[in-house]
Amino acid sequence: MRPYLLIDFGSTYTKLTAVDLAKPAVLGTASALTTVAEGLIVGYRQALKRLTAKVGPLAYERRLACSSAAGGLKMVAIGLVPELTVEAAKRAALGAGARLVGSFSFELTAADLDALQALKPDLILLAGGTDGGNKTVLRHNGALLAASSLDVPVILAGNKTVAVEVEATLKQAGKVCYRVPNVLPALDRLNIQPVQAKIREVFLERIIRAKGLAEVEREIDGILMPTPAAVQAAAERLATGPGDGRPGWGDLLLVDVGGATTDVHSIAEGRPTKPHVYTHGLPEPRVKRTVEGDLGLRASAVAMLELFTPQFLASLTGLTVEEVTAWVQARAEAPHYLPDHPADRCLETVLGYLAVKTATERHVGKLEQVYSPQGVCHLQEGKDLTGLKTVIGTGGVFVHSPAPGRILAGVLPTPDRPELLKPQAPRFYLDAHYLFSTLGLIAKEYPDLSFCLLEKALKQVKDGNTGKTKVFDS
């Protein structure tokens, strides 16, 4: 036996998975509420006690963890043009598992700096200008950050012509600065891997200590990455394969519905699949993550109520406006809330469906019809995921729902948004025991074993994968 303990310090729950790499097999799982105020070690020990009661005492070869506790890795992106360098910086940050709490474009003002400080980020990603392009904005923003009272590490990923100068300005002011290659070296080329590697490095070196995780680290072998990065690593492993030449599952979409956010991960090139379609905007990364902070079923439940309105939610559930409002408020006040009334469970399903639907709509690409001298053609912005065959749902709402297929049906096309390039006829799978975040911890070191365990973790959902399930009229 080769027992490993895999840990996810989530924003709501600390989840533990015991695996035997010799078989390989999942030996058992357990969870406890994440205890940020008392110290993460308290929730960890509670979960470990519950896990030991299930699987017995084990001499774990290694104890590995990911974390999104205490707000996760909070980042701010600063760039030149919102649609270009700012967007490139945002993609790099999200792809590294960060939680983007704000973004700023053009020359920062004093008001921008006040707003940035109020966000209390853990890390700033400073970009701006293609290589050889605009120098003024990066110089200005670097100087403003240097003169500020901000004590936050800065990753500098802008115009290489002026980046060395800006790095010197920041370091002379006593700021911690890491210079990496430009995230957008040319208008048609993204270079996000160096930025993401540095984000992960800074997370491991500095942010873990800042989050008060040092006590936990004394009992485990390390917090390897933010939780979203672990989920993404699992999805990429499943799509790519076990690393020994055998094929993986191919292109896929994973939707992670949480209490505070809904994350969407796509592993696909997303190029046009129809004739006379031309791409527009920044090139898309094959591995892409988007995060929606107004789509969460607990901490962000009130934001969903404001987004969709009590009246609309009442019309979908058959509840009164007062019942919808009261039950949504109960979710926002108790992160561990579980509905125990049939009507409340219906509301949970509706909220889950709307979170999936809206997050997917924001993630996928869209087509715009244009007229040219050659006739009608289409511009594609973002990824074409119409031919994608695999959709995976992960998160508590799927695990506890009696109708996960109805929730996952939110990824399917709807008549009201024909321009969106959503999956047409995918198969639906459920991460039945919420294992993707923990199994992602071994996805790179043990590609074959993790691939095997990930396949075993998935359960096909039979009642919603072809669009035949009755979904909500939204």
Summarised one tens digit per residue, pLDDT across range 117-168 is 999 999 999 999 999 999 999 999 999 999 999 999 999 999 999 999 999 9
Q: What is the pTM of this model?
A: 0.91
Q: Same domain for 330 and 391?
A: yes
Instruction: Encode pLDDT of 22-61 as tens digits.
Output: 999 999 999 999 988 888 899 999 999 999 999 999 999 9
Sequence-distant (≥ 6) Cβ neighbours of residue 310 within 8 angstroms? 321, 324, 325, 328
Which of 399, 414, 432 is the C-terminal boundary of a domain? 432
Give me the CATH number covering residue 60. Answer: 3.30.420.40
Q: Same domain for 153 and 105?
A: yes
Give me the CATH number covering residue 180. Answer: 3.40.50.360
Q: Same domain for 174 and 66?
A: no
Closest by Cα among 246, 232, 266, 229 to 391:
266
Domain contains 313: yes
Q: Strand 3-9 and strand 13-20: pairing?
A: antiparallel
Confidence of residue 467 (pLDDT cuts 50, 70, 90): very low
Q: Same domain for 304 and 184?
A: no
Which of 194, 221, 248 is the C-terminal boundary of a domain? 221
Q: Are 205 and 217 in contact (CB under 8 A)?
A: no
Residue 212, pLDDT above cutoff 70: no
Q: What is the pLDDT of residue 472?
A: 58
Q: Same domain for 144 and 243?
A: no
**In degrees rounded to 5, what are phi and psi of residue 190?**
-90, 150
Q: What is the pLDDT of residue 462?
A: 76
Q: What is the pLDDT of residue 210?
A: 63
Q: What is the pLDDT of residue 463?
A: 56
Top-confidence residue, 472 or 196: 196
Q: Same domain for 54 and 115?
A: no
Sequence-distant (≥ 6) Cβ neighbours of residue 52 within 8 angstroms? 58
Domain contains 185: yes
Q: What is the pLDDT of residue 470?
A: 45
Instruction: Encode pLDDT of 371-417 as tens digits.
Output: 877 778 899 999 999 999 999 999 999 999 999 999 999 999 999 99
Q: What is the pLDDT of residue 12?
A: 85
**Bond preceding residue 24 cis, omega within 30 of 0:** yes
The 10 Å Cβ neighbour count of residue 289 is 24
Q: Same domain for 58 and 129?
A: no
Domain contains 438: no
Pick from 5-14, 151-160, 308-317, 442-451: least confident: 5-14
Domain contains 470: no
Q: Same domain for 63 and 84?
A: no
CA atoms of 360 and 382, how far apart (whole Å): 12
Domain contains 403: yes
Domain contains 474: no
Q: Same domain for 275 and 402?
A: yes
3-state secondary structure the chain: CCEEEEEEECCCEEEEEEEECCCCEEEEEEEEECCCCCCHHHHHHHHHHHHHHHHCCCCCCEEEEEECHHHCCEEEEECCCHHHHHHHHHHHHHHCCCEEEEEECCCCCHHHHHHHHHHCCCEEEECCCCCCCCCHHHHHHHHHHHHCCCCCCEEECCCHHHHHHHHHHHHHCCCCEEECCCCCCECCECCCHHHHHHHHHHHHHHHHHHCCCHHHHCCCCCEEEEHHHHHHHHHHHHHHCCCCCCCCCCCEEEEEECCCCEEEEEECCCCCCCCCEEEECCCCCCEEEEEECCCCCCCCHHHHHHHHCHHHHHHHHCCCHHHHHHHHHHHHHCCCCCCCCHHHHHHHHHHHHHHHHHHHHHHCCEEEEEEECCEEEEEEECCCCCCCCEEEEECHHHHHCCCHHHHHHHHCCCCCCCCECCCCCCEEEEECCCCHHHHHHHCCCCHHHHHHHHHHHEEEECCCCCCCCCCCCC
Report the number of distinct structural domains present in the chain.
3
Q: Which domain holds residue 99?
A: 73-205
Q: What is the pLDDT of residue 469?
A: 41
What would the mean pLDDT of 439-453 be, rounded to a whole number? 98
What would the mean pLDDT of 264-280 be, rounded to a whole number? 94
Q: Same domain for 172 and 313?
A: no
What would the mean pLDDT of 196-222 be, rounded to a whole number? 82
CA atoms of 225 and 98, how far apart (whole Å): 10
Q: What is the pLDDT of residue 238?
A: 98
Domain contains 465: no
Q: Same domain for 328 and 402?
A: yes
Instruction: Encode pLDDT of 312-352 as tens digits.
Output: 999 999 999 999 999 999 999 998 899 999 999 999 999 99
Instruction: Report the mean per-residue pLDDT for the chain.
Output: 93
Q: What is the pLDDT of residue 105?
A: 96
Domain contains 345: yes
Q: Same domain for 278 and 427?
A: yes
